[in-house]
Amino acid sequence: MNQQQTQHVKITTADPSAIGLFGLAMVTLVASSQKLGLTDGVAFVLPWALFLGGLAQLFAAIQDGKHNNTFGMTAFGAFGLFWFGVAASWLIQLGVFGEELASAVDGKQLGMAFIGYLIFSLFMTVGAMETHKVLFIIFVLIDFLFIGLALSSFNVMYHVTHMVAAVSELLIAIMSFYGSAAAVLNTHFGKEVLPVGKPFGVFK
């Protein structure tokens, strides 16, 4: 009697949150400098939006998928695609795809996209409560970023809401640098070098 033997191969991959958070940190740092008036224009924000905001986070999403991490895959994937969308919008606005398309730009459509991402970010913030507190804080700041971006896109108290978006984005960068450093150093040294805070434990 022939016996069938089944072999299960386990592929171990590194935690992709470090590169994903670094990508988020870099793009929000550069983008916030423009919103805060420290730099001008979006020409040199574009490369960081495409490669760090977009590509790095998409890479992290794919790797998180291999970890069977639905939350991480969805978060990094959605925000990676967000930065590709924002970069494409800037290119349209700058006339890269023609003056006719640039002249037809309606900033309120981008505002609607920000509202959609605010909805997404809000329920992801609930999920972040069961990751760690640094990531939860990042999501809360992302909520404020999208509130500011959405309201300023519709010219609602523009100067105030624009500043809310700018400050939130800078704080996202700072917290994401910390989160990335914690993911690298804590794993590298095999102990908690940089604390990230335990999950809230509300839902588990």
Q: Is the pLDDT of residue 203 over 60?
A: yes
Q: Is residue 12 part of a domain?
A: no
Phi, psi of 25 (to 5 degrees): -60, -45
Q: Which two tokens stand for residue 189?
A: 């040294």
Nearest to 62 by CA among 28, 101, 16: 16
Q: Count how many domains the chain has.
A: 1
Residue 178 lies in a domain: yes
What is the percent of the chain where pLDDT is above 90?
A: 91
Q: Does 2 map to a domain?
A: no
Contact 71, 16 (CB under 8 A): no
Mean pLDDT over all residues of the chain?
Answer: 95
Contacts of 81 (CB under 8 A, 6+ apart): 54, 58
pLDDT above 70: percentage of residues in the chain: 96
pLDDT over threshold 60, residue 1? no
Between 10-14, 64-68, 128-132, 182-186, the lowest mean confidence (pLDDT) is in: 10-14
Residue 59: exposed, middle, or buried by beta-carbon count in 10 A (0-12, 13-18, 19+)? middle
- pLDDT range class, residue 8, cuts 50, 70, 90: low
Q: Is 27 contained in some domain?
A: yes
Residue 117 counted as domain residue: yes
Instruction: Round to whole Å and give the CA distance between 204 and 199.
Output: 9
**Is 90's pLDDT higher than 90?**
yes
**Which structural domain, as residue segments, surrounds residue 40?**
17-185
Among 20, 81, 92, which Cα is nearest to 56's? 20
User: How does pLDDT run across 9-44, given as a tens digit for each residue?
Assistant: 666 789 999 999 999 999 999 999 999 999 999 999
Q: Is residue 74 part of a domain?
A: yes
**pTM of the predicted model, to two decimals?**
0.93
pLDDT at 4: 67
Provide the pLDDT for residue 2. Answer: 56
Q: Is residue 176 part of a domain?
A: yes
Q: Does a structural domain hold residue 26?
A: yes
CB 89 within 8 A of CB 110: yes
**Does position 137 have pLDDT exceeding 90, yes or no?**
yes
The residue type at 31: A
pLDDT at 202: 87
